[in-house]
Structure formats: C-alpha cells, structure tokens
C-alpha cells in the first residue's frame, strides 16, 4: 500500500447519511465504523460514525466522521487532510514537518484501533491527520 492523501469531512451526526449519499454519487465500496464498535458501546453517540471511508472504482477516497462530543464543529471549517498508509518512515517524516511548527492535538501514537495516529494543525491553520497502518502481507 502506498501513502495516500485525501479529504476527511467532519459532520454533526449526519455522517452515515452523507457517506451513503456520496456512495450513490460516486459508487464504490463504503466502510462505516461506529464509536460503539471502537470501545464506547454505551456512549450516547455509540451509533454515530467514528470513521467512514468510501473507495471508488475511479480511485477516489473520501473519508468522513461525526464530530465527537466536546470537539468543535464549525461548518465551513469541517474538512481535514488525511495522510495514511503503511510506510511508517515516510509518514513520520511528513508528521514531523507538519507538526514541527504547528500545534499537535493528538500525539502520533498507537490508538485503540491498532494503528499509529496523530492529528495536528500546521503553521498555516490546515488540519492534518496521519495514520500509519501495519504493512499488509
């Protein structure tokens, strides 16, 4: 798997409907995972989307999720850029440069879904997500 750069859209409780709509528009395969599936089965937002990913036959990747309680949701500012893949050295290099002069909101470290993940805002105010997955056999 190579490193991918794609948009990540935040929603306020409508991620499932939005991602299903985008699947109708673009086609492809949609994966949706809820907050409940990732360790919060009794939370009020357990059925909301923690991570959605649409992979289209045209090679597009669109990600989206519902904004968790306590995090700001500002329509118009709800798009983030995601870098993901299994080339740990490459992704850590990008992370270091993007976060070095920016602000880290989630340190790049192992997460409950098994990948290394971090979130930061660069010095220009652009939000970035970096996800390092285990190499596929």
Domain covering 4-132: architecture:
Roll (3.10)
pTM of the model: 0.71
> What is the per-residue pLDDT across 56-88, written as a single tens digit (0 to 9) for each?
988 889 999 999 888 888 877 778 889 999 999
Range of lowest pLDDT (26-40, 67-81, 103-117): 67-81
What average pLDDT score do residues 17-35 get?
93
> What is the per-residue pLDDT across 35-50, written as a single tens digit (0 to 9) for each?
999 877 777 889 999 9
**CA dihedral of residues 32, 38, 44, 48 (deg, nearest 10):** -10
Q: What is the pLDDT of residue 33?
A: 95
What does the alpha-carbon distance between residue 10 and residue 26 come to, in Å, rounded to a whole number?
19
Q: What is the pLDDT of residue 126?
A: 81
Confidence grade of residue 26 (pLDDT, cut at 50, 70, 90): confident
> pLDDT > 70: what percent of the chain?
98
Q: What is the pLDDT of residue 93?
A: 92
Domain regions of the chain by residue span:
4-132
């Amino acid at each position: 798997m190579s490193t991918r750069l794609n948009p990540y859209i935040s929603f306020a409780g409508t991620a499932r409907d939005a991602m299903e709509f985008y699947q109708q528009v673009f086609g492809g395969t949609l994966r949706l995972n809820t907050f409940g599936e990732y360790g919060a089965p009794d939370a009020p937002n357990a059925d909301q989307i923690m991570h959605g990913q649409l992979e289209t036959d045209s090679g597009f990747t669109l990600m989206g999720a519902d904004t968790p309680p306590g995090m700001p949701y500002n329509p118009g500012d709800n798009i983030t850029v995601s870098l993901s893949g299994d080339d740990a050295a490459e992704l850590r290099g990008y992370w270091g440069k993007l976060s070095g002069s920016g602000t880290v909101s989630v340190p790049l470290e192992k997460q409950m879904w098994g990948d290394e993940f971090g979130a930061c805002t660069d010095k220009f105010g652009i939000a970035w997500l970096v996800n390092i997955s285990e190499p596929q056999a």
